[in-house]
Structure 1
Amino acid sequence: MSAAAVIKASLAAARGAKTVRLAGAGTDSGTAVALDIHYGSNGAAGSVTEAGSKIRLIILAKTVYFKAPDAFYRKQAGKNAAAVLKIVSGKWVKAPANSSTGSDFGQLADRQKLIDSFASDFDSADAASVRRVGSGSVAGVPTTTYSDGSGQGSIDVAASGTPYPMKLVSKGSSAGTLTFTDWNKPFTAAAPPASQTVKLPS
């Protein structure tokens, strides 16, 4: 099988999987961002770290729950921070995924879009330029490494079994590294206890 055919099969396997854990780090408009999100059959759970603030997330259907450190609210709420912290400090905030509060986090529920953003270097690469460049392992899984031919990206594909992508490295517009584990392993996200949940004041 050609290198281009392997990549095509790998990305198809990723897009067809029901569950996976994604973890990685990169930059967004010059800001360092890290994520660790487990996607299940009913939603997702994990965390996003941006500008030093680690925000825990649970995304279920059209609802987002997030739990952020006080420093995050101080920055976001400005002069209203003290009043906001009286309500949300140490709590999970519940918000509609399409609301102004939840939309930034809600878009992370789209696993396909996230994978596509990292895989764009290979989707647009000339098939003849994709080539095998080495081997390695990710989380104990032997992999084969492929380059997109432009020096803008590489992908590690499981060397045996279903050719799931195990690592994507991009130097393009979404620069960073993303690793994939727990492909199709059962995972169910659960809402936090109601006693620990609040809504931000409108």
Structure 2
Amino acid sequence: MALTGAMCVGLAATLAGCGGGGEKDPDADTNGVGKLSAAKIEDKARKAAEGARAVHLSGTLVSKGRSYKLDMRLKEDGGSGQVSTKDATFELLRVGKELYLKADADFWIHEDDTAGGSGNGAEGGTGGASKADRAAAEKLEDKYVKVPVGDPSYQQLGGFTDKKVLLDGLLGLHGTLSTGDRAEVAGVRTIRVLAGEGSGGSVDVSLEGAPYPLRLQRAGDAGVIRLADWNRDFTLTAPDETDVVDYGQQLPSHD
């Protein structure tokens, strides 16, 4: 018995084989949010996101029946990156209130449809485009087109470059909140918060450092978004004037 007791003392640090076993604390070496209620975790994640200077947002967003693939870097005074739809891919750059759009010729032939307008056959390819339309579009290819503030496209396209607008829309969960599994996102330990047991969306919140949201599953299969590089600043620079086309009050229409 004396020998057994001595062995238990010697092995206490490993908690092995002496009736003193136990599980590792899942919150050891974390920021502690895993111990909180789902509502408090969600609140801390939202506040952390709002307070961050910058973020890299990527993934798929479904809105009003349209699917967008996003790869955007955002901060308080603007953003830059790429947006893709079923029919087109374009780049966006916003520096303060100045919004620029860059795309190939095919995009400009169907600009109205891509930007949410009526369009003229984006489903049917560019074969129906007139020579005049094609010539005009080729002049815009790979140029930064300045989007007028009063243009109908400004608010929608500008929303992709607005950190506050995007995060306010994405971080909204719908339904009763509950905590889910612990996992990892890009090697960072997380805890999941679910709304309506997942039907109202979910967010994976970092258990390391600040409790930033790292992965968002939107309700109704409306997309999955990853958020990274929180607080990692980057430079936003307006394009050279020689690379900019300014249409003044409104972008060209193809109706």
CA RMSD for the aligned pairs? 2.1
CA deviations over 1:101-135 (Å, ceiling 9, x no partner): 533212223322211212222xx53xxx3222112
Among 151, 168, 185, the alignment partner of 2:232 is 185
SS of the residue corresponding to residue 152 of structure 2 reads coil
1:13 aligns with 2:61: no
SS of the residue corresponding to residue 208 of structure 2 reads coil
Structure ranking higher in strand proportion: 1
Among 118, 139, 150, the alignment partner of 2:186 is 139
TM-score, with normalisation over the residues of structure 1? 0.86
Shift in CA distance, 199/23, structure 1 to aligned 2, threshold 3 Å: same
Distance 1:36 1:97 in 2: 23
1:199 aligns with 2:246: yes
Among 164, 172, 195, the alignment partner of 2:212 is 164
> Which piece of structure 1 moves more, 81-90 or 151-160?
81-90
Aligned to 1:105: 157
Q: Which has the larger radius of gyration?
A: 2
1:61 aligns with 2:108: no
Distance 2:207 2:226 in 1: 15
SS of the residue corresponding to residue 160 of structure 2 reads helix
1:71 aligns with 2:106: yes
Q: Which amino acid aligns with 1:13?
A: A
Deviation, structure 1 residue 86: 4.0
Aligned to 2:17: none
Percent identical pairs in the alignment equals: 29
Large movers: runs of 4+ above 6 Å = none
In structure 1, the gaps of 5 or more residues are: none
RCO comparison, higher one (Cα < 8 Å, 6+):
1
Q: Which amino acid aligns with 2:154?
A: G
Equivalent pair of 1:98/1:106 in contact (CA under 8 Å): no
Distance 1:106 1:98 in 2: 12
Equivalent pair of 1:19/1:183 in contact (CA under 8 Å): yes
Distance 2:210 2:237 in 1: 29
Aligned to 1:85: 137
Equivalent pair of 2:55/2:229 in contact (CA under 8 Å): yes
